[in-house]
Chain A
Amino acid sequence: MTESICRALRDGALEGEHAPALTIKDSIASPFGFHVFTHVLTQLSSQILAGKSQSRGLVLVALSRSPSFYVDLLKRRGFDVASSKKWIQILDCYTDPLGWKDRLVESGNIAHLYSEASSRASLCKNVKDMDKLFTSIIELGKGLVGQGKVRFCVAIDLVSEIFRHASISSVAGLLSNLRSNDQVSSIFWSSHSDLHEERVTAVLGYISSMVASVEPLNQSANGLRCNSENLSLLERNYWKGKFHARFKRRNGRVRVMSEEFHVEQSIINFTPLSSEDEMINRSLLPKVQFSLQLSEKEQIDRAKVVLPFEHQGNGKPIQIYDGRRSLADSKNEAAPVATGVLQTNENSSTGEIIYLRDSDDERPDSDEDPDDDLDI
């Protein structure tokens, strides 16, 4: 399932479509959203390097970790760091997001500041300005892939940090503008769902095309008392959890998938769900009726049934069917049975009506039995 997520990000956007966007959300109960983020990051990076993805570069907006952390991460995962500036650029919003160092220098308190200059990271000094952030990201991306039709991916470390500094509508505007930009192939970000009000989580879900959530293995883990017996169990279960994803597909349906994950020494591994935990979507359907309409085949069959008086007037002599005598041109093959039953049968190519009289004792045309006139 994580492969489907990475595949969707790798394939990117079709012409005229918004770029696919992934939200990774976690909470304090299972705080491994960042591990999922780095997993997706490394997967996508290897796809970019191998040339298998739509995008040719990646712009990483670093808010919760410093750029050097990411460089080390890439080194640890086996990427060649020296040539990395050709395909990855990091927008450093971690070191000095609000521009305090400049103000310190200005106020004369500090003479000189050591700044970490790097060819693959550029510093952002004002996280509050969404327009500036947008243009910096796009410029960095264009620097990687050039002008024209080539695209790049965007990864935002922790969107929750941006929500601290700017209003919901401006951040939503930033994310949707990034999605609709022609040169962005795909975009993904992580967030902590318990740092926001519900509306922010709903907004992030509205904007993204895939929502992935990290949840603990048992929901009731928080309620358990910490005894010495189950402490080790709790500790072991802490590193495991469930990973759910909801994909908004192009045909308008929602694909829901789940997996289990296990974090070992900061590397996350995914395994398919072990237990059969089926959720039935009964809430969707309040009332379901039996079909009262006929399908095409059924309509054709119905049209073939010859009703009692329909075949009269065709030139043949009209006969009143008595019921007791068999017709000369009988079409029906029903054998009279003592207790008769009126049936409509739609077998063979002509439909038939099989009429069996209730009893043979009645006189024809009596007032009590108007069915005597039935001409079948």
Chain B
Amino acid sequence: MATTKSRTSSFSRNLAAVPSSTNPGLKYGPNGTIFISSGIPDLDKILGGGFPLGSLVMVMEDAEAPHHMLLLRNFMSQGLVHKQPLLYASPSKDPKGFLGTLPSPGSAKDDKSRIRDPEQEKGLRIAWQYKKYFDEHQQSFDSIRDGKYEYCNDFDLRKPLERHFLSSQHIDCVSIQETQDLTALRNRCATFLTQFPRNDGNISPAGRIAIQSFCSPQCEYSNMEWDMLSFIRSLRSMIRSSNAVAVVTFPPSLLSPSFSRRWQHMADTLLSVRAIPDEDKELAKLLTGYQEMVGLLNVHKVARINTQVPVILEATTFSIKLQKRRFLVLECLNQAPIDSSSGSSYGTSATCSGTSKSGTLDF
């Protein structure tokens, strides 16, 4: 199950699970945090509501797979659908071209075919003797299923985002390939973030910053490791005092190990995406749904800003699947039923042994 039930104390506040209709892009969480959606419904559930405003999300890329682009696309599209201003920085020469690949929210009839969250279904059927004497108050959760006002849309990766979302004034694109040093980018981010000051009681529309492949080798600053680290630190402090979320992706294999560690430490929410080998018979036997998987997502850290209680997830590794080749879905890894005739033992998945021939007495 991709949900976490976080019970921080025996008293839990009665929070509205549905977003307020005045500002559908924001959701109120415990301890005064306000969430914005990541654009991927499963990821929002895993993280306990979404990305909290004021946090820095870092995504570790895998040099062999472009899955971080899927996360970025959904994040940016969600912001545009909710009319949240966006600043996008990328190492390509023409970042605006990427906007053409942003997905559009899927239509409502596609949504219904998805298996809904089991929490919402009144699933626990209780055989109660006195049921017949009472009127069963069927409270069905018919949340407003209007595409525009949902907190988190299901994005159809095959449909490009409609033009009217892209033509608004709120999108700023920066190319970071030619920049010698990072002061220009830092100033750009600072001016962007002045639009979203964090004052008590005043919720301006939230902002989103997306920086793609930050230490990409073609950028001239990419060998100045201390400068990049200090940029991230200043970005994090700027974000903390504003109502915005920044998502930065970077390939850790291109950094030296100590800097890779430092960057990971800087993140409030740390995710990583990994490629999976193709046509791997061992993995196909081990996992159900291997054929539809495109990659793996790991959640290393979940942002906890106003509290000292950490989040301990039931599972930290999820498979990235494209349902119907359109919708991004994250699922827990499920072990395939073990074929009793083959004689492989339960222990093979836990050991890292090199041989595939395990005896029947292995545990």
Contacts and interface: CB of A to CB of B under 8 A. Distances in A.
Interface string B201-240: 0000000000000000111101100000000000000000
A284 B132 contact: no
A70 interface: no
Contact of A286 (B126, B220, B278, B317): B317
B251 A206 contact: yes
Given A202-B253, A248-B65, A282-B349, A254 B278 contact: yes
A254 B217 contact: no
A297 interface: no
B71 interface: no
A307 B125 CA distance: 8
B223 A312 contact: no
B132 A312 contact: yes
Contacts of B166: none
A253 B288 contact: no
B295 A252 contact: yes
Nearest to A174: B218
14 contacts: A177-B218, A246-B64, A248-B64, A253-B276, A255-B278, A255-B279, A282-B353, A287-B315, A288-B334, A288-B349, A291-B334, A308-B127, A309-B128, A313-B131
B277 interface: yes
B182 interface: no
Interface residues of A, number: 51
Interface in A243-272: 246-249, 251-256
Given A206-B253, A284-B296, A289-B333, A253 B218 contact: no
Interface string A267-300: 0000000000011111111111111110010000
B218 A173 contact: yes
Contacts of A284: 274, 276, 283, 296
B60 to A, nearest CB: 13
A169 B223 contact: yes
A253 B319 CA distance: 12
B206 to A, nearest CB: 30
Contacts of A281: 277, 280, 282-283
B310 interface: no
A84 interface: no
A309 B132 contact: yes
Nearest to A276: B356
B311 interface: no
B349 A169 contact: no
A167 interface: yes
B1 to A, nearest CB: 6
Interface residues of B, number: 55
Contacts, number: 139
B251 A169 contact: no
Contacts of B332: 289
Contact of A252 (B66, B223, B254, B317): B66
B223 A167 contact: yes
Interface string A58-82: 0000000000000000000000000
Contacts of A341: none
A364 interface: no
A104 B316 CA distance: 65
Nearest to B115: A296
Nearest to B67: A252
Of the listed residues A252, A256, A285, A313, the one surrounded by the most CB atoms of chain B closer than 10 A to its CB is: A252
Interface of A: 167-170, 172-173, 176-177, 180, 199, 202-203, 205-207, 246-249, 251-256, 278-293, 296, 307-310, 312-313, 318, 373, 375
B185 interface: no
A264 B222 CA distance: 43
B174 interface: no
A318 B132 contact: yes
A176 B282 contact: no
A293 B220 CA distance: 49
B256 interface: yes
B70 to A, nearest CB: 8
B354 A280 contact: yes
B333 A205 contact: no
Contacts of A203: 217, 254
A120 B168 CA distance: 52
A94 B221 CA distance: 30
B334 A253 contact: no
Given A248-B65, A289-B333, A253 B253 contact: no
Interface in B288-335: 288, 294-296, 315-317, 332-335
A8 to B, nearest CB: 14
B351 interface: yes
Given A288-B287, A288-B335, A168 B276 contact: no
